[in-house]
Amino acid sequence: MKKIRIAIIGQGRSGRDIHAKNLNTEALKDKFEIVAVCDPLLERCNETVTECACEAYADYRQMLERHDIDLVVNASMSHQHVPLNMEIIQAGHNILSEKPLAANSAEVDAITELADKKNVFFAVFQQSRFSPTFLKVKEIIDSGVLGRVIMIKVCFNGFARRWDWQTLQCMNAGNLLNTGPHPLDQALQLMGGDDDPEVFSIMDSVNVAGDAEDYVKVILRNKNRPVIDLEVSSCAAYSPFVYQVYAANGGLTGDHAKLEWKYLSPGTPPIPALIREPMPERKYCSEPLEWKEDSWESTEEELSFDYRVVEFYKDLHSAIISGKSPVVTVGDVRRQIKVIEECHRQNPLPRKY
């Protein structure tokens, strides 16, 4: 099996703690080899250089001059993703870009057009598609036991205050571009279809030092599809669930650790015939319902963030070697970006920096 030789731009929280650390594990060492890392703060490269015996660069342009690189991972800061992606592709390298890929769909199209022109492999790192809990939710919905799905809630919530560059609009920051691509990708997959949904959104900037949003509410609607109710909030001191499904025959609720769902037992009689007259004896519509109930729990390994990273990279390796499309396509990401773009259009927060 061919090892893919990787160069990583950025050795911060993403480049080092997500990419370099996991690529050098036993699960991926037979598929990938880190040959170079780059960071303008050169000392940030030291850990990966020691572990992988790779080269370190302060200037990514020098690194891009190498001819022994199979794939460049762009783990730079968010506002640098688009220009660096264009430079990497222009240099003729295959590329894996961190999210957010871009701030708008026009930028996505420009990167895609250049990648096609230069005939390079182009993918986006969105490991949450490989979350076992999300995959289980999708499996349950697709099984049909819940019946027609009316609404799906996805909430990636918590409570935190923040004061780093991820609070600055000018650096493509805020909850929607930072955390949002993960739940939004899952929500669009659960919604189904390929066309763009109607979008209604509310965003607010509450507990941040910068000017970007830390509260996001998004409602997505599409004909003959479930309504999506999405939240990405840092203002939620209580977060009772991550997923909820409302459906004709039952429902589902749960978080990353555990899911529970129940549905009407097979053979449940249909809704009684319509009565137009006053109900006998002033009764309210009431009937005994027999439920089938089930549950599922993640293993400790599946709960790990690193588990999703490894699964993503396994799929990426297969896609590069086989020439087939990865599970998370650029088209999927473009659909997310269009929703994010519309949310920002509807909620133009004041720019202070």
Note whether residue 298 is domain-resident. yes
Q: Are residues 216 and 341 in the same domain?
A: yes
Q: Are residues 78 and 199 in the same domain?
A: no
Note whether residue 186 is domain-resident. yes
Note whether residue 326 is domain-resident. no
Residue 1: pLDDT above 80? Answer: no
Range of the domain at 32: 4-125
Three-state SS string over 43-71 comes to HHHHHHHHHHCCEEECCHHHHHCCCCCCE
Note whether residue 352 is domain-resident. no
CA dist., res. 73 & res. 60, Å (int): 11
In this structure, how many other beta carbons lie within 10 angstroms of the beta carbon of residue 352?
A: 11
Three-state SS string over 30-41 comes to CCEEEEEEECCC
CA dist., res. 207 & res. 159, Å (int): 9
Q: Are strands 258-264 and 4-9 parallel, antiparallel or unpaired?
A: unpaired
Q: Are residues 166 and 292 in the same domain?
A: yes
Give the residue carrying structure tokens 């600055």.
168
Phi and psi for 148 in degrees, rounded to 5?
A: -65, 125
Coil, strand, or helix at residue 248?
Answer: coil
The strands making up 215-221's β-sheet, listed across from edge to edge, are 198-204, 215-221, 227-233, 149-155, 243-247, 250-254, 258-264, 291-297
Any idea what the CATH number is for the domain that residue 133 is in? 3.30.360.10
Q: Is the pTM of this model over 0.75?
A: yes
CA dist., res. 328 & res. 130, Å (int): 10
Q: Are residues 19 and 144 in the same domain?
A: no
- Count of domains observed in the chain: 2
Beta bridge partners of 29: none
pLDDT tens digit string along 212-234?
Answer: 999 999 999 999 999 999 999 99
Q: Are residues 19 and 110 in the same domain?
A: yes
pLDDT tens digit string along 105-159?
Answer: 999 999 999 999 999 999 999 999 999 999 999 999 999 999 999 999 999 999 9
Structure tokens at 59: 């200037």
Q: Are residues 225 and 295 in the same domain?
A: yes
pLDDT tens digit string along 247-279?
Answer: 999 999 999 999 999 999 888 888 989 988 988
Q: Are residues 159 and 285 in the same domain?
A: yes
Average pLDDT, the chain: 95
Q: Are residues 69 and 176 in the same domain?
A: no
Note whether residue 279 is domain-resident. yes
Q: Are residues 120 and 136 in the same domain?
A: no
Q: Are strands 215-221 and 198-204 parallel, antiparallel or unpaired?
A: antiparallel
Q: Are residues 182 and 114 in the same domain?
A: no
Q: Are residues 175 and 105 in the same domain?
A: no
pLDDT tens digit string along 269-322?
Answer: 889 899 889 888 878 888 889 999 999 999 999 999 999 999 999 999 999 999
Query: Where a domain ends, among 73, 96, 125?
Result: 125
Coil, strand, or helix at residue 280?
Answer: helix
Note whether residue 210 is domain-resident. yes
CA dist., res. 173 & res. 165, Å (int): 7
Q: Which candidate, 174, 173, 180, places its Cα nearest to that of 157? A: 180
User: CA torsion angle for 165, 171, 175, 176 (degrees, to 10)?
Assistant: -170
CA dist., res. 23 & res. 26, Å (int): 8
Any idea what the CATH number is for the domain that residue 48 is in? 3.40.50.720
Give the residue carrying structure tokens 């519509």.
285
